[in-house]
């Protein structure tokens, strides 16, 4: 048998000013195109990713692996048509050349210049080439599920964790079901539905309520064999698209009544708890003042308004300015995205004193915010290539790359500055730059929940900072024009 395996992953924040060309899917690659073929198999084998699970399943079946594209870009604005067409064409071309099954590792919240539903359009194009082909799709927990995805996939399974630590297992779950279907052992049918809820990602931690019970119910249903796969998707709220929202996707074996019942049960649980999915924002100055009173180290300060893996620019400086202004010291901060400052530090050299206009290079017109740099003075402490291997439970084994980077020591803080956008979720982000995170009093990072995968085990305290940016948890900063209305909590008094 010949299996086509691919990853095309992007979470699109439609309010983000960061463009998403093909090169964003090929960071660190000199040819500017995403990984493919043997290179991709070699790089992804043994990693905690759905694609790695697909590779293992295909090899176990003795199938020939064709891997036309393994692409992932950090969340940002709309994916360019050129990038989408190139990646979709590569997959369709491989399918056209003879293929017994397709296994896709997708995000589920990709928006392109021309398509609100990137994944739905990709699947639709594959279906046009091969109308009856079995297609397995692994999706991120932050999927905004769509009719086109459900109609064109054979099997769908989503991550059941946030932070996403079950990504390999997710690939196994949908991959195994598809193999069963190929062997004629099951007849997968997708049942799905949604509720009009814009849940806050900061209330989507899967290990605690309101989500824990809902996820446990889905996991138990799948483990008990009542359905083939059961997934719940929290949705990605920073997308002004018609199919945004909270959903459940169940894969039934031929008969769908139990799946319909389960889908309704999961979604009713979520709807009944809708108020618990709202996040109350604490004013930034109050959070910093509170952090100052804490004594045990390290104290992790989490700027959630400018979170890279939700489409943040990673260069908004207001949380850093506030922490510095309040006199916090013994801090590690970063990474801050500012290629210009990295170049200035590299040109000055290790040991040189420099004054930088740090960060704040990016305007955010969708939320009416101008970039505002922060003047900092210090010594260039270290220069790195920005690469390190992930050891935490999320993306374990992957090589992360935030480009040429440098550390500025201001006396009050060691600030890591990078030239490619990458969230801090593995301790390697600081350790590769010679900063030991456990030895610092404060670690100021830009994240939402993914940092928990690496940082929570060492954190004595976690303080959320409501910085400004395009990933703010305050929905009033965003002008939604295409999402379905009414939707909770924008229309608080709505009824179903």
Chain contacts with Zn ion (rule: CB under 5 A): 140, 142
Closest contact distance (angstroms) between CB of 175 and Zn ion is 20
Residue pair 193/263 in contact by the 8 Å Cβ criterion: yes
Cα–Cα distance measured from residue 203 to residue 481, given in angstroms and rounded to the nearest whole number:
24
First to last CA, the chain: 47
Cα–Cα distance measured from residue 172 to residue 450, given in angstroms and rounded to the nearest whole number:
22
Nearer of residues 322 and 395 to Zn ion, judged by Cβ: 395
Nearer of residues 170 and 366 to Zn ion, judged by Cβ: 170
Closest contact distance (angstroms) between CB of 164 and Zn ion is 6
Nearer of residues 142 and 304 to Zn ion, judged by Cβ: 142
Nearer of residues 72 and 414 to Zn ion, judged by Cβ: 72
Give the sign of the dihedral formed by CA 7, CA 8, CA 13, CA 18. positive
Residue 209 has what DSSP assignment?
A: T
Nearer of residues 9 and 194 to Zn ion, judged by Cβ: 9
Give the sign of the dihedral formed by CA 415, CA 416, CA 422, CA 424. negative
Nearer of residues 52 and 144 to Zn ion, judged by Cβ: 144
> Coil, strand or helix: which one is 264?
helix
Closest contact distance (angstroms) between CB of 99 and Zn ion is 28
**387-389 and 155-158 beta bridge pairing:** unpaired
Closest contact distance (angstroms) between CB of 141 and Zn ion is 5
Nearer of residues 36 and 394 to Zn ion, judged by Cβ: 394
Closest contact distance (angstroms) between CB of 110 and Zn ion is 12
Closest contact distance (angstroms) between CB of 419 and Zn ion is 24
CA distances from 337 to 47, 358, 403, 422, 467 (A): 26, 9, 10, 8, 15
Nearer of residues 140 and 344 to Zn ion, judged by Cβ: 140
Residue with tokens 């919240």: 109
User: Residue number with the shortest CB distance to Zn ion?
Assistant: 142
Residue pair 139/188 in contact by the 8 Å Cβ criterion: no
Task: Give me the DSSP letters along 7-53.
Answer: EEE-BB-TT----B-GGGGSTT-TTSS-B-HHHHHHHHTTSSSHHHH
Nearer of residues 140 and 395 to Zn ion, judged by Cβ: 140
Residue pair 133/99 in contact by the 8 Å Cβ criterion: yes
Find the length of the chain: 496
Closest contact distance (angstroms) between CB of 236 and Zn ion is 7
CA distances from 441 to 291, 293, 392, 408, 412 (A): 10, 12, 21, 17, 11
């Amino acid at each position: 048998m010949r299996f086509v395996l691919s990853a095309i992953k992007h979470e699109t924040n439609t309010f983000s000013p960061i463009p998403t060309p093909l090169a964003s899917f090929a960071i660190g690659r000199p040819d500017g195109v995403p990984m493919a073929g043997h290179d991709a198999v070699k790089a992804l084998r043994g990693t905690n990713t759905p694609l790695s699970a697909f590779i293992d399943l295909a090899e176990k079946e003795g199938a020939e692996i064709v891997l036309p594209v393994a692409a992932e870009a950090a969340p940002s604005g709309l994916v360019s048509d050129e990038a989408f067409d190139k990646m979709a064409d590569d997959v369709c071309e491989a399918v056209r050349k003879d293929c017994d099954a397709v296994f896709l590792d997708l995000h589920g919240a990709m928006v392109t210049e021309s398509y609100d539903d990137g994944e739905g359009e990709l699947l639709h194009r594959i279906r046009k080439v091969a109308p009856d082909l079995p297609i397995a799709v692994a999706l991120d927990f932050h999927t905004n599920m769509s009719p086109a995805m459900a109609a064109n996939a054979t099997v769908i399974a989503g991550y059941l964790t946030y932070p996403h630590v079950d990504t390999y297992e997710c690939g196994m779950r949908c991959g195994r079901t598809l193999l069963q279907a190929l062997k004629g052992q099951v007849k997968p049918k997708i049942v799905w539905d949604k509720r009009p809820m814009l849940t806050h990602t900061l209330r989507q931690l899967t290990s605690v309520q309101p989500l824990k019970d809902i996820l446990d119910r889905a996991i138990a249903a799948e483990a008990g064999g009542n359905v083939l796969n059961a997934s719940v998707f929290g949705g990605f709220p920073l997308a002004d698209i018609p199919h945004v929202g909270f959903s459940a996707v169940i894969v039934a074996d031929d008969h769908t009544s139990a799946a319909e019942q389960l889908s309704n049960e999961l979604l009713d649980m979520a709807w009944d708890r809708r108020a618990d999915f709202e996040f109350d924002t604490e004013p930034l100055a109050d959070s910093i003042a509170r952090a100052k009173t804490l004594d045990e180290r390290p104290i992790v300060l989490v700027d959630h308004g400018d979170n890279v893996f939700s489409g943040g620019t990673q260069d908004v400086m207001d949380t850093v300015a506030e922490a510095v202004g309040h006199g916090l010291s013994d801090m590690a901060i970063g990474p801050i995205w500012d290629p210009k400052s990295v170049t200035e530090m590299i040109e000055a050299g290790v040991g040189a004193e420099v004054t930088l206009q740090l960060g704040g290079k990016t305007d955010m017109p969708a939320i009416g915010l101008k970039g505002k740099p922060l003047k900092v003075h210090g010594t260039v402490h270290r220069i790195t290539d920005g690469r390190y291997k992930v050891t935490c439970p999320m993306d374990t084994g992957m090589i992360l790359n935030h480009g040429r980077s440098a550390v500025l020591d201001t006396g009050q803080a060691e600030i890591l500055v990078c030239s490619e956008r990458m969230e801090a979720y593995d301790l390697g982000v600081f350790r590769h730059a010679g900063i030991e995170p456990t030895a610092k009093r404060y670690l100021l990072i830009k994240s939402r929940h993914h940092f928990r995968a690496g940082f929570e085990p060492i954190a004595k305290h976690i303080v959320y900072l409501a910085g400004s940016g395009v990933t703010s948890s305050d929905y009033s900063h965003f002008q939604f024009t295409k999402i379905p209305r009414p939707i909770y909590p924008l229309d608080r008094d709505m009824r179903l």
